[in-house]
């Protein structure tokens, strides 16, 4: 654990806030213990986020265990219980719910880092499963130690440590933990790799995890180089979810394949594991077909459609694009978030704005964006196009279509929730009589 401690010690600064994904298992309890140890000298803020997947009887006791541990060690405890599932793929839906929840906790505490306890053995399993199943070049790398997200960074401090090292550290330092019984069930693919393939590899070479980490870093390095080549060509080939077949066919085979992989990676993001080589080949066949009109369906209701010299990538689940509401108290938005007028708040982030009604024409309106929309951002003199603000904040094109825009009745934009405040926003010391929260 020396390497992990040194890494965390170098990474973390005084008053940094860290959210830890805490299951209660040996890995996450080890990570939490390391952070608690560093807190003595670093004065960091630790938030533990626990998810009860609600599929095992032991889940309730596991929640009690981690909550008591956090109380004892003065760690803020956040908890989510998943009440129901709508997807036939339990693991897929649970993962989406879990990471959406973690992102909310990060925003709630304005945390700098979200830390998970993925370790070296996990990396081996992930790489092997993707090689067998088929994936993109980026997918074959497994997962990275550090991943930048919108406003925070996902960190995996234990990526260099094996499960054996983690258990040994827990034993030496008397760190208690719980065991998820489902981790022993052979019906799960990862468990079969863990129980049968990993022991064999470690028998061949006890330091095999180092080889896989090197493999991961090598793949990532070459992928980064190809990414630069692809990015230079992409603007002519792919724009607004439309691929130009004529320009695409001018490229080398490797660049063609990477462009398709890039498109799928941007669409699927954390759900990339749903995509394999078969899907990539289907898209290539669609492009190369002599027929002018064809379509295929991919996971998560993605329609890939060919029309003459264009390929369209269309999300069949996307919400209504154009909308407009009068903001009276609370609105449920098409992007599944809410806007609500509240009485008090200490929040000073872009998720809350304070307004003075005398400066506005009421009532307030919440609508989708329109072509040419501009607003004067707080502390700026000139107006800026919303399109530029979205681009600066790396907001996905599909998200932009349903992102809420708050205006007064004269269509003056007063807030871009979650992204930027306008010139009308008031500090807590100024005079205001309206507080709106975006959640």
Name, in order, each residue with C-beta under 8 angstroms of 98's C-beta and a sequence gap of 6 or more: 21, 51
User: Using CA atoms, how far apart are residues 123 and 208, in angstroms rounded to an integer?
Assistant: 11
Report the percentage of the chain scoring pLDDT > 70: 95
**Domain annotation for the chain: domains and CATH numbers:** 2-119+156-204 (3.40.50.620), 234-315 (3.30.465.60), 324-438 (3.50.40.10)
Length of the chain: 439
pLDDT at 321 over 70: no
b/e per residue 85-116 (b: at least 16 CB within 10 A): eeeeeeebebeebbbebbbebbbbbebbbbbb
When pLDDT is cut at 50, 70 and 90, the band that residue 317 belongs to is low
Three-state secondary structure call for residue 415: strand
pLDDT tens for each residue of 117-175: 999 999 999 999 999 988 888 889 999 999 998 889 999 999 999 999 999 999 999 99
Query: Residue 50 class from Cβ within 10 Å (0-12 exposed, 13-18 middle, 19+ buried)?
Result: buried
pLDDT band at 401 (very low <50, low <70, confident <90, very high): confident
- Taking a C-beta distance cutoff of 8 angstroms, is the pair 201, 124 a contact? yes
* Per-chain mean pLDDT for the chain: 90
Instruction: Kindly tell me if the per-residue pLDDT of 10 is higher than 60.
Output: yes
b/e sequence 368-407, b meaning 16+ C-beta within 10 Å: bbeeebebbbbeeeeeeebeebbeeeebeebebbbbbbbb
Q: How many CA atoms lie within 13 A of 220 on its CB side?
A: 14
- Cis? peptide before 141, omega within 30° of 0: no
pLDDT in tens, 201-258: 999 999 999 999 999 999 999 988 888 888 888 989 998 889 999 999 999 998 998 8
338/330 Cα distance (integer angstroms): 7
Q: CA 397, 114, 24: angle at the middle one, nearest 5?
A: 130
pLDDT at 141: 92
Per-residue confidence (pLDDT) for residue 171, from 0 to 100: 96
Q: Cα torsion for 230, 233, 236, 239, to the nearest 10°?
A: 20
The model's pLDDT over 21-78, given as tens digits with 9 standing for 90+, comes to 999 999 999 999 999 999 989 899 999 999 988 877 888 899 999 999 999 999 999 9
- pTM confidence score: 0.62
Residue with tokens 């299951």: 23
Given a cut of 80, is residue 1 above it in pLDDT?
yes
Q: What are the distances in angstroms from CA 56 to CA 30, 82, 100, 108, 110? A: 23, 12, 22, 28, 32
What's the rounded Cα separation, in Å, for the pair 132 and 345?
Answer: 51
- pLDDT digits over 66-95, tens only? 999 999 999 999 999 988 766 555 567 788
């Amino acid at each position: 654990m020396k390497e992990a401690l040194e890494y965390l010690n170098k990474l973390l600064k005084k008053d940094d806030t860290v959210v830890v994904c805490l299951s209660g298992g040996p890995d996450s309890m080890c990570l939490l213990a390391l952070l608690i140890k560093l807190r003595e000298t670093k004065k960091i803020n630790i938030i533990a986020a626990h998810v009860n997947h609600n599929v095992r009887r032991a889940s309730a006791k596991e929640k009690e265990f981690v909550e008591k541990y956090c109380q004892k060690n003065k760690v803020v405890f956040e908890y989510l219980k998943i009440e129901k599932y709508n997807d036939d793929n339990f693991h897929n839906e649970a993962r989406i719910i879990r990471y959406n929840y973690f992102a909310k906790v990060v925003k709630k505490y304005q945390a700098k880092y979200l830390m998970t306890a993925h370790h070296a053995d996990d990396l081996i399993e992930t790489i092997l499963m993707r090689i067998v199943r088929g994936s993109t070049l980026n997918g074959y790398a497994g997962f990275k130690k550090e991943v930048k997200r919108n406003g925070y960074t996902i960190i995996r401090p234990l990526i260099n440590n094996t499960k054996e090292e983690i258990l040994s550290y827990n034993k030496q330092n008397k760190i208690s933990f719980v065991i998820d019984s489902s981790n022993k069930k052979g019906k799960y693919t990862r468990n079969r790799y863990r129980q049968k393939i990993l022991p064999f590899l470690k028998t061949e070479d006890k330091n095999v995890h180092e080889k896989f980490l090197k493999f991961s870093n090598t793949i990532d390095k070459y992928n980064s180089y190809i990414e630069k080549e692809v990015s230079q060509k992409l603007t002519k080939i792919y724009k607004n979810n439309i691929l130009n077949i004529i320009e695409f066919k001018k490229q080398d085979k490797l660049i063609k394949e990477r462009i398709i992989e890039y498109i799928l990676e941007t669409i699927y993001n954390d759900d990339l594991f749903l995509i394999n080589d078969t899907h990539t080949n289907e898209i290539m066949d669609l492009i190369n077909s002599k027929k002018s009109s064809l379509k295929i369906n991919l996971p998560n209701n993605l329609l890939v459609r060919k029309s003459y010299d264009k390929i369209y990538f269309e999300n069949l689940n996307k919400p209504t694009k154009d909308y407009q509401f009068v903001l009276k108290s609370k609105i449920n938005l098409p992007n599944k978030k809410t806007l609500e007028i509240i009485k008090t708040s200490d929040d000073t982030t872009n998720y809350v704005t304070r307004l003075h009604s005398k400066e506005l024409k009421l009532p307030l309106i919440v609508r989708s964006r329109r072509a040419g929309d501009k607003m004067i951002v707080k502390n700026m003199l000139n107006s800026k196009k919303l399109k530029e603000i979205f681009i600066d904040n790396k907001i996905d094109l599909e998200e932009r279509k349903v992102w809420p825009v708050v205006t007064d009745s004269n269509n003056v934009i007063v807030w871009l929730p979650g992204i930027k405040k306008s010139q009308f926003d008031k500090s807590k010391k100024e005079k205001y009589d309206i507080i709106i929260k975006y959640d």
